[in-house]
Amino acid sequence: MPFTARHPHHEIDGVLTTTGASAALRSRAVVQPWPRSVLYEGWVRLGQPPLRGLEDVDLLHAPSAAVPPTAGRPLVVTIHDAAPHLFPESFTARGRRFHRLGLAAAARRADAVIAVSQAAADEIVTHSSIPAERVRVVPHGVQPPDPGPNQVEADRTALQRHRVNDRPYVLWVGSLEPRKGVGTLVAAMAELRRRGVHEEVLTVLAGFRGWLNDAIVSDADARLLGSNLRRLGPVVDDDLWALYRHATLFALPSRHEGFGLPIVEAMSQGAPVVASDIEVLREVSGGAALLVQPEQTRQWADAIEGLLDDPSARSSLSEAGRVNSSRFTTAAMAAGTYDVYQAVGS
- Up-side HSE of residue 63: CA atoms within 13 Å toward CB? 12
What is the pLDDT at residue 33? 81
Residues 206 and 341 in one domain: no
The reply to whether the predicted model has a pTM over 0.75 is yes
Number of alpha helices (DSSP H) and beta strands (DSSP E) in the chain? 13, 13
Residues 128 and 170 in one domain: no
Residues 51 and 134 in one domain: yes
Residue 42 CB burial class (10 angstroms; 0-12, 13-18, ≥19): middle
What is the pLDDT at residue 57? 85
What is the pLDDT at residue 4? 35
Q: What is the CATH number of the domain that holds 287?
A: 3.40.50.2000
H or E element at residue 207:
strand 202-208
Q: Is residue 203 part of a domain?
A: yes
Cis peptide before 49 (omega within 30 of 0): yes
Phi/psi-derived region of residue 342, left when phi > 0, alpha when psi is between -120 and 50, beta in every other case:
alpha
Q: What is the CATH number of the domain that holds 38?
A: 3.40.50
Residues 49 and 184 in one domain: no
What is the pLDDT at residue 28? 63
Residues 105 and 179 in one domain: no
Q: Based on the structure, what is the number of domains in the chain?
A: 2
Residues 158 and 303 in one domain: yes
What is the pLDDT at residue 17? 33
Distance CA 186, CA 294 (A): 13
Residues 310 and 172 in one domain: yes
Residues 163 and 93 in one domain: no
Q: Is residue 86 part of a domain?
A: yes
Q: Is residue 239 part of a domain?
A: yes
Cα–Cα distances in angstroms (integers) from residue 223 to residues 152, 190, 320, in the given order: 34, 9, 36
Distance CA 238, CA 159 (A): 11
**Which domain does 248 fall in, by range?**
151-325
Residues 162 and 262 in one domain: yes
- Up-side HSE of residue 315: CA atoms within 13 Å toward CB? 3
Q: What is the mean pLDDT of each run of 10 residues along the chain (346 residues)?
A: 32 33 51 83 86 85 91 93 90 90 94 98 96 97 90 93 93 93 97 97 92 85 96 94 97 97 98 98 98 97 98 98 97 96 88
Residues 106 and 200 in one domain: no
Q: Is residue 146 part of a domain?
A: no
Q: Is residue 77 part of a domain?
A: yes
Residues 167 and 305 in one domain: yes
What is the pLDDT at residue 12? 27
Written as one string, the DSSP assignment of 124-155 is HHHTSS--GGGEEE----B-PPPPPTTHHHHH
Identify whether the C-beta of residue 156 lies closer than 8 Å to the C-beta of residue 180: no
Largest CA distance in the chain: 65
Residues 81 and 103 in one domain: yes
Q: Is residue 249 part of a domain?
A: yes
What is the pLDDT at residue 24? 43
Q: At what angle do helices 261-268 and 237-246 cross, to 10 degrees?
A: 70
